Amino acid sequence: EPEVTQTPSHQVTQMGQEVILRCVPISNHLYFYWYRQILGQKVEFLVSFYNNEISEKSEIFDDQFSVERPDGSNFTLKIRSTKLEDSAMYFCASTVQSEKLFFGSGTQLSVL
Amino acid sequence: DQQVKQNSPSLSVQEGRISILNCDYTNSMFDYFLWYKKYPAEGPTFLISISSIKDKNEDGRFTVFLNKSAKHLSLHIVPSQPGDSAVYFCAASGGYGNKLVFGAGTILRVKS
């Protein structure tokens, strides 16, 4: 069964450094998302992406965040200057044209 | 902004009995509701969904009930099995392409 793939599974970085989280959505999907879950908290929406542009973003998704679909298969989340509070599990999700989202296994980001 | 609420942080059930997980929502624009199951260090996995035009959807041991007037939905698992032990998230959507809004989750423990 096709699945959403995320790399790396764990990322440790120093505060102020840039990180790029990578995702390969399911191949025929059209809508792409990033969510995050801080330990012990709910899964929070960050951004949605369709037709090569952001369709919606949350207030968490400030100027430090950006997304890109550089080559038609990868979907990346960049955090320009990481903060301690960016430490979380980041999930990529995709869907073809449905309310049902398929999630990747996540990238655990630890900012020291 | 708690548009989707799961008021029970945890539930413990004996193997073979029924598990009932509850969810309330406040936004009348939601028209599709989903339940996701999540194990530690993994992404949410789709379990079952229901459209707002229905009041019940069944898939094997899992049934979701929707009461639109009360803005309430529930997930019934019968019979419960130890492998069902996980965190269950209720999520709501305003239609395909829109973000999912998640509840805080309920930890289900099924005791053998």
pLDDT at B53 over 80: yes
Mean of the per-residue pLDDT values of chain B: 95
Domain ranges for chain B, please list them. Answer: 4-111
pLDDT category of residue B98 using cuts at 50, 70 and 90? confident
Instruction: Give pLDDT tens digits for A61-86.
Output: 999 999 999 887 899 999 999 999 99
Chain A residues close to B49, C-beta within 8 Å? 99-100
Q: What is the pLDDT of residue B7?
A: 92
Q: What is the pLDDT of residue B9?
A: 95
Q: What is the pLDDT of residue B2?
A: 76
CATH code, domain with A14: 2.60.40.10
pLDDT category of residue B1 using cuts at 50, 70 and 90? low
Beta strands in chain A (DSSP E): 5-7, 10-13, 19-24, 31-37, 43-50, 53-57, 65-68, 75-79, 88-95, 102-103, 107-111
Domain span at residue A32 reads 5-111
Q: What is the pLDDT of residue B97?
A: 79
Q: What is the pLDDT of residue B95?
A: 82
Mean pLDDT, residues A20-37: 95
* Residue A5, phi then psi, degrees to nearest 5: -110, 130
Could you tell me the fold of the domain covering B4-111? Immunoglobulin-like (2.60.40)
Question: What is the rounded distance in angstroms from the CA atom of residue B60 to the CA atom of residue B76?
Answer: 11
Chain A residues close to B32, C-beta within 8 Å? 99
B86 touches chain A (CB under 8 A): no
How many distinct structural domains can be found in chain A? 1
With pLDDT > 90 as the criterion, what percentage of chain B qualifies? 91
B46 touches chain A (CB under 8 A): yes
pLDDT at A6 over 80: yes
Mean of the per-residue pLDDT values of chain A: 94
Whether the CB-CB separation of B24 and B72 falls below 8 Å is answered with yes
Q: What is the pLDDT of residue A77?
A: 98
User: How does strand B100-102 pair with strand B45-51?
Assistant: unpaired
Q: Which of B41, B100, B105 has its CB closest to that of A101?
A: B100
Instruction: Give pLDDT tens digits for B8-47.
Output: 999 999 999 999 999 999 999 999 999 999 998 889 999 9
